Structure 1
Amino acid sequence: MQLRELAEKLRCRLVGNGEIEVNRLAPLHEAGEGDLAFVANARDLPKLEASKASAVIAHEGSPPCSKPALLTNDPYLAFVQALRLFYTPDRPTRGVHPSSIVQEGVCLAEDVAIGPLSVVEAGVTIGQRSIVGAQVYIGKGTRVGVDCRFYPQVMIRDGVEIGDRVIIHSGAVIGSDGFGYRKDGQGVRIKIPQVGRVILEDDVEIGANVTIDRATMGTTRIKRGTKIDNLVQIAHNVVVGADTVIAALSGISGSTTIGDRVTLAGQVGIADHVEIGDDVTVGAQAGVTKSLPPGGVFLGFPAVPHLEFKRSVAAVNRIPQLLMAIKRIEARLASLEDTMRERREEAQPSQPASEGGPQ
């Protein structure tokens, strides 16, 4: 693609030769002839002239360079859009692979593709242009929308409802039993039947090896546009709001409600029956033990407002200095006590010797 054409598609301002051909995109330090790189941070500008890239995407207002450039106020976004132009996912051949098992009563819409060794149980409905990879299991009564993609070895249990344009990556399990037990009179744990379901709304993406438990009763729900990273656990009856982002290794306990546009960083843990308001950000490795109001940034365990956490960290970091100060004060006090004791002893009158011997 010519750079001039790419500039039009990305709505960037072209500076330099627009006739050069761009064949692929590459990182700045790996780019070669025919490659388009991008500079998203000013600290990378010194590396630009040394790069062998044929052209670059840079921030509007960047210093002039010798390479043809596409200038924009958001270079990273432009680079992402360029990736979408150059690289489109492979689409398997429509139809059901001969090695797969599709039970009676399954409804497959136009252009559905089902890969090798997959199992689709009775009563499943799959919408137009959806792709089911190899070794995928889809349980009874599940409904799948249009333009979905399930990568190999996804497992979807019975009765799950999946909206349009949902992506589920390998190893994810959707609709497994919730973790619920009750002790009987003899202290034996009795399994609580998990008879609810899971709903994934439109434009949700589920990372590799994510587990989302079905509700005990009712629904575990992931709302529209939410993106979940790899290795996340979502327990029964959890509701995750729209456009929320959950990073890897986070765990959400049962019956928790998370608002819209929430960000949970890596390794966040959330206790059960907690409510997190809209637009909240929870920092990495934080532990949420109680409900959080909308709009705040929270850090630490237990999670507290970020300014309070920073003050606590600053205080902890001063402990060695404070211990040294205490030791100096103790030494001075001991020295003062010794001095005061010596002065008291000097001030006491000496006892006169007894006169005369025994009569």
Structure 2
Amino acid sequence: MPRFRATALGDLAARLGRPLEGDAAWVVRGVASLEDAGPGDLVFVRGPRYAGALARSGAGAAIAPPSVDTGGRPAIRSPRPDLDFARAVAQLALRDRPPAGVHPAAVVAPDAHVDPSACIDAYAVIGARCSVGARSIVHPHVVLYPDVKIGADCEIHAGCVLREETELGDRVVLHSGAAIGADGFGYTFDEQGRPAKIPQIGRVVIEDDAEIGALAAIDRATLGTTRIRRNAKIDDLCVVAHNCDVGENVILVGQSGLAGSTVVEAGAILMGQTGTTGHLRIGAGAFLGGRTAVHKDVPAGARLFGAPAMPERAWHRTMSALARLPDALRRLRAVERAVGIRAPRAGEEEA
């Protein structure tokens, strides 16, 4: 099937609410990067820095800010070309949606409720008392344990597992292999010092418009609820432990991990491989750079980097000093030898 819906550029500009320069009848037949675009493709340009790449591109039209010369190409003018390009792609891209209904090879419990407009694909398993909302898609080999609730317009990709009592709002997307509602890692020690499991009897709630990446794990609460709030975005291979609360519009980038009972307030961003100890709070709008190790509460709006986490400016100074450390040590050894407080050692590098 075609990948894109052929659309007049003028119609697309009107849907985006942006002004058009040039031929409104020019037909968008695809979208592409500047490097790969052909004469029927629409591209986007962030700013003047990319004007040269646009001049070399074979693209037929562009979404660009007013400051960029598009070389005579028709252009949708936008103050946010990246955002408008994303919205354009959402309108132009065609997807092969499976038909509504329950596939004959799926297994659905007799007391489960599946909306007639939803799709339950082959080899999916829908457990007792589950519900699947309008227009939601459950792809092959998805398993819903008993009492799972899925809202409207959700998409659960192949291989996901949703444990008992997990609840999804509307328009939630789970990518392949996500594990939602597994037991939290909760143990104490018995009289002989052996690990003794603490029963994990809570649940997971994922609110509207959240998106969970492939192979991410979100554990059920020990008691109560592990909650992923509205429009949060969690990347592949992230771990959210029991009783965490991930706020609205939060971004967790790949391989980040939240220890138990961590609260991440609205709009915070945790870059790749960031980790937290448990029972702490990351304030609204905070930014944690890649591989940051957080061991105490983070104020709202803070920018932290490093392990242990430190303010951005201090981290830059530390990294700069670290790069100069070998030379500083050589000079220190030379001074020590010069004043007679340190004899050269065998094989030691001279200053």
State TM-score, norm by structure 2: 0.91
User: Aligned partners of 2:89 and 2:187: how far apart in 1?
Assistant: 48
- DSSP-derived class of the 1:175 partner: strand
Q: Give 1:1-359 correspondences, 5 Å limit.
A: 1-63=7-69, 65-334=71-340
- DSSP-derived class of the 1:49 partner: helix
Question: Tell me, which stretches of 5 or more residues in structure 1 are unaligned?
Answer: 336-359
| Partner deviation per Cα, 1:246-298 (whole Å, 9 max, x = no partner) | 00001111111111111010000111111111111111001011111111011
Number of residue pairs the alignment of both structures matches: 335
Please say which structure displays the higher CA radius of gyration: 1
User: Aligned partners of 1:283 and 1:197: how far apart in 2?
Assistant: 30
Deviation, 1:332, is: 4.4
Deviation, 1:66, is: 2.8
User: Aligned partners of 1:322 and 1:221: how far apart in 2?
Assistant: 49
Deviation, 1:111, is: 0.3
What one-letter code is carried by the residue in structure 2 that aligns with 1:29?
Answer: E
| Partner deviation per Cα, 1:210-254 (whole Å, 9 max, x = no partner) | 111111111111111101010001111111111101000011111
User: Aligned partners of 2:193 and 2:334: how far apart in 1?
Assistant: 57
What one-letter code is carried by the residue in structure 1 that aligns with 2:226?
Answer: T
User: Aligned partners of 1:133 and 1:225: how far apart in 2?
Assistant: 22
User: Aligned partners of 1:128 and 1:63: how far apart in 2?
Assistant: 46
User: Aligned partners of 2:333 and 2:192: how far apart in 1?
Assistant: 56
CA RMSD for the aligned pairs? 1.6
Contact preservation (8 Å) 1:49, 1:66: no
- DSSP-derived class of the 1:182 partner: strand
Contact preservation (8 Å) 2:55, 2:70: no
Question: Tell me, which stretches of 5 or more residues in structure 2 are unaligned?
Answer: 1-6, 342-351
Deviation, 1:12, is: 2.7
What one-letter code is carried by the residue in structure 2 that aligns with 1:256?
Answer: T
User: Aligned partners of 1:143 and 1:6: how far apart in 2?
Assistant: 36
What one-letter code is carried by the residue in structure 2 that aligns with 1:304?
Answer: M
User: Aligned partners of 1:331 and 1:252: how far apart in 2?
Assistant: 49
What one-letter code is carried by the residue in structure 2 that aligns with 1:146?
Answer: A
Q: Which residue of 2 aligns with 1:343?
A: none
User: Aligned partners of 1:221 and 1:112: how far apart in 2?
Assistant: 25
- DSSP-derived class of the 1:307 partner: helix
